[in-house]
Amino acid sequence: MITLHSLRQSQKSSRPKRVGRGNASGKGTTAGRGTKGQRARTGGRNKLIRRGMKHLIERTPKTRGFRSRRLKLHAVNLIDLQRVFPDGATITTADLHRHNLIPRSFPGAKVLGIGELKKKFTVRVEAFSASAKTAIAKAGGQATLVEPEESKKPTS
């Protein structure tokens, strides 16, 4: 139930303050900025000086860029596995690196279901698409998820 004390003013109904529109408005002449000084002028104030933030920012080192914590996985299609590996092979991420199916800069792989699989494989990689998992199982193989190694996970 709505009561009077629980009603709130809508955001749209409150207009921004009109400053510097004459002394009768209560915010005329200096428009609430005080008298003179750098902070009273337009465009002449360093916002970092407020609340003692500048010295904190100056003290922190300039660490360039950003390193994502997410594990980078490279996509490999079933048609590529069919082309490169013999029937009954056990395929790992290291094998995919060895056969140049994924670049060395990618520590893991995700198998996607593009292409028809006629060979039986045991695949041990970091991720599978749903269609790839069903295609491997349909061909009589196994799709096993592997946890990425700690050394391969990006740090910071």
For every residue of the chain, DSSP letters joined together read ---GGG----GGGSPPP--SS-GGGSS-TTTTS-SSSGGGSTT---GGGGGG-HHHHHHS----S----SPPEEEEEHHHHHHHSPTT-EEEHHHHHHTTSS-TT--EEEEE--S---S--EEEESEE-HHHHHHHHHTT-EEEE-PPPTTTS---
Where the chain has pLDDT below 50, the residues are 151, 156
Q: What are the structural domains, with CATH classification, of the chain? A: 73-145 (3.100.10.10)
Res 86: pLDDT: 95
Res 155: pLDDT: 54
Res 24: pLDDT: 84
Res 89: pLDDT: 95
Res 139: pLDDT: 95
Res 153: pLDDT: 55
